[in-house]
Amino acid sequence: MTEQLTASASEAFVLAPEVMDQLFFEARSANSFIDEPVADETLDAIYEATRMGPTLMNNQPLRIAWIKSEGARRAVAATMSGSNAAKALAAPALAVLSFDPEWHETFEYFFPHAAERKAMFEESTMRSSVGSNNAWLQAGYFMMAVRAAGLAVGPMGGFDHAALDAAINAETGYKSFLIVNIGKPGENAWFQRLPRHEADFAVRSL
């Protein structure tokens, strides 16, 4: 395990140390990938794990687009700045994460025992922010699922959201918020590890 894990923390986890390393301590945001495709079955498995993470009233507003055709990939890259675009063009697998601002329409499906609570989300600004927040939560589960599949993520928020929505979300009305490169890390895949906040800065007990 890395030096970033305190001795007491290493004893607290019930998962094997190498699993914790793969998910957290040694996992990095990758900037390059080897040229090895990611199987469709792996992409399916990543969604199967992602969808099990908790969301508000089980609302699951995340919508994933796996970008498979060269045309779609070029359209995604066209919404990004130079270095991000190059990474998106080269990644073995590419996902656009969006949220559905009308996520409440399937309320009866995902919260059947109290479907009348759908009425709480009639107001569109609040509904959209609940959708965005919970899709971001699901994005975290998604990235951990990718790591659990033995792959690395390269998340990228630097793109023109309106342009990407016009290119791939026009029919659905979904709102894109994160592009994720996925694959096995390539040459010089990492920048220097940046500092994480210590617990005495970021955590308190009340």
Ligand X SMILES: Cc1cc2nc3c(=O)[nH]c(=O)nc-3n(C[C@H](O)[C@H](O)[C@H](O)COP(=O)(O)O)c2cc1C
Residues contributing to the site for ligand X (CB under 6 A): 28-29, 84, 155-158, 178, 190, 193-194
Give the separation between CA 97 and CA 91, rounded to whole angstroms: 16
Closest to ligand X by CB, 119 or 201: 201
Nearest-approach distance from CB 193 to ligand X, in angstroms = 5
Closest to ligand X by CB, 71 or 157: 157
- For Cα atoms 18, 189, 158, give the angle at the middle one, nearest 5 degrees: 110
Nearest-approach distance from CB 64 to ligand X, in angstroms = 15
Give the separation between CA 97 and CA 66, rounded to whole angstroms: 9
Residue 125 burial by Cβ neighbours in a 10 Å radius (0-12, 13-18, 19+): exposed
Closest to ligand X by CB, 26 or 40: 26
Nearest-approach distance from CB 136 to ligand X, in angstroms = 8
What are the φ/ψ torsions at residue 80 (nearest 5 degrees)?
Answer: -115, 160
Nearest-approach distance from CB 115 to ligand X, in angstroms = 33
In the chain, the amino acid numbered 102 is E
Closest to ligand X by CB, 81 or 124: 81
| Closest chain position to ligand X (CB) | 158
Closest to ligand X by CB, 58 or 83: 83
Q: Beta partners for 179?
A: 96, 156
Nearest-approach distance from CB 71 to ligand X, in angstroms = 22
Closest to ligand X by CB, 112 or 157: 157
Nearest-approach distance from CB 118 to ligand X, in angstroms = 30
3-state secondary structure 130-167: HHHHHHHHHHHHHHHHHHHCCCEEEEECCECHHHHHHH
Cβ within 8 Å of residue 184, ≥6 positions away: 33, 34, 36, 92, 150, 151, 152
Nearest CA to 99 out of 160, 181, 178 is that of: 178
